[in-house]
Amino acid sequence: MRVLVTGAAGHIARYVIRELAEHDHVITATDVEPVEAPHIDRVHVGDLRDPELVRSAMAGADAVVHLGAIPHPVSDDPSQLFATNCLTAHRVLDEAGRAGVRRVVAASSLAAVGLAWAPHPHQPRYLPLDEEHPILVEDPYGLSKLVLEEIAHATHRRWGTDVVSLRLPFTGTDTRLKAQLAAVAANPEAHRNDLWAWLDTRDAATAVRHALTAELSGSHVVNVAAPDTSAPLPTMELLDRHLPGVSVHTELTGHTSLVDSTACAKLLGFRPNRSWRT
């Protein structure tokens, strides 16, 4: 397939592009800054808020991986962050539908649930966290990701485009991951709201590839997380210390993740398996 990858200069996108190219997909890339990689066939430089840029980049695409967004909640203008992420998501997905693209994979976030960046900390209603957990979101970043998922549903209803929205936690490998693990080990309490969830970037890229090619229809929201937590302590000890009283629906032995990726395995035929412990 010819695949358009937005946000191509970003951390996850670099791994996605390599993964797709290794499986013989042809890559068109777009970002606000120039992108150079041997795996990319065409590059379009510009802002995804520009309809002409998106239309031009979309030409000839069989599928789209939408990673282009403000990837964090830190902003001097939270309303602008929200508006930018929502507008670019709608621009890309709606143009994909108009162009007849049959499959879009979009990077959502576990922040869409509303735990990670909540201005008023919430406890999860139950664990492990699955895609049916009630939405608690208050912050503009998490809200923009929830809107992305609704845009995906609307795109399928309007254009028939099949969309997979991947709810990702912190994603990293190598030095980026080592820095995150050190921060969690130093202060696990500070990471209670993200449930100590993480994902190796290589597994994120593989999940994207499976989402592009899986036999499915409709618009789906899918959790994708590593099988273990990012904390040195066993999972039940983490809960006893930092999230006491939360209802646990299944046995959590060892360092088992608090994010349920069962739907990822069933729908996409892939379950993340990399652990920082090995």
Q: How confident is the model at residue 8 (pLDDT cuts 50, 70, 90)?
A: very high
Residue 91 has what pLDDT? 98
Q: Does the pLDDT of residue 189 top 90, yes or no?
A: yes
Task: Give 52-84 pLDDT, tens digit per residue.
Answer: 999 999 999 999 999 999 998 989 999 999 999
Helical residues (DSSP H) of the chain, grouped into ranges? 11-22, 51-58, 78-98, 140-159, 174-186, 201-213, 235-242, 262-263
The Cα–Cα gap between 248 and 91 comes to 40
The Cα–Cα gap between 170 and 104 comes to 22
Q: How confident is the model at residue 278 (pLDDT cuts 50, 70, 90)?
A: confident
* Total number of domains constituting the chain: 1
The Cα–Cα gap between 48 and 126 comes to 37
Other CB atoms within 10 A of residue 158 CB = 12
Q: Does the pLDDT of residue 122 top 90, yes or no?
A: no
The Cα–Cα gap between 198 and 224 comes to 9
Residue 75 lies in a domain: yes
The tokens 């412990």 sit on which residue?
A: 277
The residues, any chain, with a CB within 8 Å of residue 38's CB and separated by 6 or more, are none
Residue range 260-270: mean pLDDT, rounded: 98
Q: How confident is the model at residue 275 (pLDDT cuts 50, 70, 90)?
A: very high
Residue 96 lies in a domain: yes
Percent of the chain past pLDDT 90, that is, above it, reads 94
Residue 179 has what pLDDT? 98
Cα 32 to the chain's mean position, in Å?
20
Task: Give 94-121 pLDDT, tens digit per residue.
Answer: 999 999 999 999 999 999 999 999 888 8
Residue 254 has what pLDDT? 97
Q: Is 129 helix (H, G, I), strand (E, B) or coil?
A: strand
Q: Any idea what the CATH number is for the domain that residue 27 is in?
A: 3.40.50.720
Residue 114 lies in a domain: yes
Task: Give 35-53 pLDDT, tens digit per residue.
Answer: 988 899 999 999 999 999 9
Residue 181 lies in a domain: no
Residue 276 lies in a domain: no
The Cα–Cα gap between 66 and 152 comes to 11
The residues, any chain, with a CB within 8 Å of residue 81's CB and separated by 6 or more, are 70, 73, 75, 140, 141, 144
Residue 218: give the domain boundaries: 2-172+199-226+257-268
Q: Which of 11, 110, 27 is nearest to 64 (CA)?
A: 27
Residue 101 lies in a domain: yes
Residue 246 lies in a domain: no
Residue range 157-173: mean pLDDT, rounded: 98
Residue 14 lies in a domain: yes
Task: Give 200-249 pLDDT, tens digit per residue.
Answer: 999 999 999 999 999 999 999 999 999 999 999 999 999 999 999 999 99
In single-letter form, the type of residue at position 230 comes to: S
Give the angle 16-22-23 at the CA atoms, nearest 5°. 95
| Cis amide linkage into residue 124, ω under 30° from 0 | no
